[in-house]
Structure 1
């Protein structure tokens, strides 16, 4: 192993140690080594070459040994949320903070809010591994501040807790851990119902509806969303700058749910309602990381048409959307738009265009394509059907994602 390999293997070891939230001293103790040994390995001054040592490190970190020594495997795995992280989120959701923390200083509400804002930004930037790594701690801290908050801090603490539950539900749904996602969404909804706050209810209802949709309860999901619009609507006068985007997103969620139900008329009606709301959005209104506005409404229409199995119409509608407006959306939203179009072109047999779109999505948000089941499924479909230059590009993307024909 040369010096470059030693540095790379050391970098990978440090990456996974930090991703598992272990400091050098903790990891050294688990390895039965010194802290200086860990430091030398991570900086490339000592080679990580002996197989038993590599296997022991991988076991502690919950990864395959190749993740530490193989460049292709390492790159692929670093950009995916793994099973250990899902289990950590599940464990955090299984905690009921009835008693105060046994030791340590009280959890600071401002710190919890900063962390929640950071993870929301990581989410819209499609940095899902960052969310998965830090989410269990946010869930624990948010539960703690919500339990202890008094007076004016109570609403802020409850909103932070709902944000943490929503992130958990969204992450788990994206990576097909639907049962646990339902638990997180249900926690968000119950927390919102316990406080008279339209902001909280609008945020939680979307998570609950997505979780219900994933379990086949589309009718109940639409009912939940529309009941929430009835609850939020009376508070819009005088509060449009803070509530309008959340109100509009409820209609978009209802449109998507109706499409999943193959109810084209209701999906169109809900899309039209969202369009009307989007036209009321003004510069300076709070979007709450939703990126709600005309462009987001339009790309949701493409997503709905795809779910209605109207791929041709989805492609035609997408051609009417201003590319500059789409470019101003978050990486997560733009990548999902491209994944919807990739699927539509795949279903219409235009595999060359589908490959180009998937390559664009990978550039914008690698973790959407390489780690998410939807992206990997599209790669598998294109591997079976592409030829020529398109096949070469698909094979390169598949190799980066670890997808085989």
Structure 2
């Protein structure tokens, strides 16, 4: 190239700062927002992006990957693929069958659809199996293809308005179950198809509980897409609360519970934004709703109950980066048993995040082992857990490195 020619901006590989700027911009996040979420300033982010500051250490790279939902650390570092997929786990063996069932369009069949009551009984068994099985993805992945097909068929064959609305309510809940399976797997488009179809089916059902559950899951999908989608999460969440709250004086336990779950979700999103007062205010409101539920009540989809509020308090404190408060809340919540194995594992992961924030990495690793014992398929697909393990595998303490490495093997992080 002559000295007068226009330089090729792609002649050299992108450096870390350039990659960071591209990924941050793609997520619709400002430098100040990213900096605040990783405990740095906006000027620090600018320094890294412009090359004034060097590439951060692995611990900070993993925090950035967590915030930006980077699937492969190579997207940030430009190095060889590490196959970490922090927030998108490995594709489950049953993913293809579930995807095929979601994508099917049963317009021509001579088979008679099961009744809505029959499908509802199968759903109840599926939710029960999900809560009790350590390999819950395998369990519900085996049930979903037939459930999806039968529920779609029931809607198509409904002969009256009430029958069709009842079938749509069941179909919406089937899609809710499917969203638990599809979440954190390498098919974001499938996740959104499931979430959107669940919302449509719930609206068609005109059933408050079905509408609440679909909105609860859509809120999570928007929030997990990153800060640029927090407003969308709030819109779905708060609009649905406005619809449900007038129904509460005469509501069933299930409708009260989904309203409480949505109330907490509003606090969860506020915590992600760093809005401390708003986050705890919503948590207080959700706790008041939980207190109105029977002592042994446990919502089959959201796990909302009296027993879950302590776990929710840990989550709020962790998202607000309040290490000491999260540990205090974890100690208070630990006396309560969470019936659902995957939800119990999720709580242990949140506790581990709190212990790491509080400077107790050894306790964090021990708590992650407890999460693995409760539900291996929960921790395997959880990006927060994987980040902690990878960070501690670089620890200066040989004993801690060994414990982290052993857990990394259990999670499949070292697989090629």
Deviations, residues 318-350 of structure 1 (Å, cap 9, x unaligned): 2222x332x143112211111012122223332
Give 1:290 deviation, angstroms.
3.2
Map 1:177-188 onto structure 2 (within 5 A): 177-188=187-198
Distance (whole Å) between structure 2 residues aligned to residue 197 and residue 369 of structure 1: 33
**Quick one: higher RCO (CA 8 Å, sep 6+), 1 or 2?**
2
Distance (whole Å) between structure 2 residues aligned to residue 150 and residue 377 of structure 1: 51
Equivalence for 2:306: 294
Give 1:389 deviation, angstroms.
4.5
Alignment equivalent of 2:269, drawn from 257, 262, 266 = 257
Normalising to structure 1: TM-score of the pair? 0.72
Give 1:403 deviation, angstroms.
2.3
Give 1:108 deviation, angstroms.
4.4
Equivalence for 1:230: 242
Normalising to structure 2: TM-score of the pair? 0.70
Equivalence for 1:169: 179
Give 1:359 deviation, angstroms.
1.1
Would you say the 8 A contact 1:296–1:329 is kept in 2? no
Task: Structure 2: give runs of 5+ residues left out of the alignment.
Answer: 1-88
Would you say the 8 A contact 1:113–1:160 is kept in 2? yes
Alignment equivalent of 1:318, drawn from 330, 337, 345 = 330
Distance (whole Å) between structure 1 residues aligned to residue 113 and residue 208 of structure 2: 29
Alignment equivalent of 2:168, drawn from 158, 172, 183 = 158
Give 1:250 deviation, angstroms.
0.8
Give 1:289 deviation, angstroms.
4.2
Distance (whole Å) between structure 2 residues aligned to residue 311 and residue 178 of structure 1: 31
Larger CA deviation: 251-260 vs 366-375: 366-375
Distance (whole Å) between structure 1 residues aligned to residue 211 and residue 240 of structure 2: 7
Distance (whole Å) between structure 1 residues aligned to residue 340 and residue 93 of structure 2: 27
Equivalence for 2:145: 136
Deviations, residues 174-199 of structure 1 (Å, cap 9, x unaligned): 43643321221111111112232211
After TM superposition, the runs of 4+ consecutive aligned structure 1 residues lying more than 6 A away are none
* 1:87 and 2:96 correspond: yes
Map 1:376-395 onto structure 2 (within 5 A): 376-385=386-395, 387-395=397-405
Would you say the 8 A contact 1:128–1:367 is kept in 2? yes
Structure 1 residues 269, 192: CA separation in 2 closer, same or farther (over 3 Å shift)? same
Task: Structure 1: give runs of 5+ residues left out of the alignment.
Answer: 1-79
Alignment equivalent of 1:368, drawn from 378, 382, 388 = 378
Would you say the 8 A contact 1:178–1:214 is kept in 2? no
Alignment equivalent of 2:319, drawn from 283, 307, 328 = 307
User: RMSD value over aligned CA atoms?
Assistant: 2.5
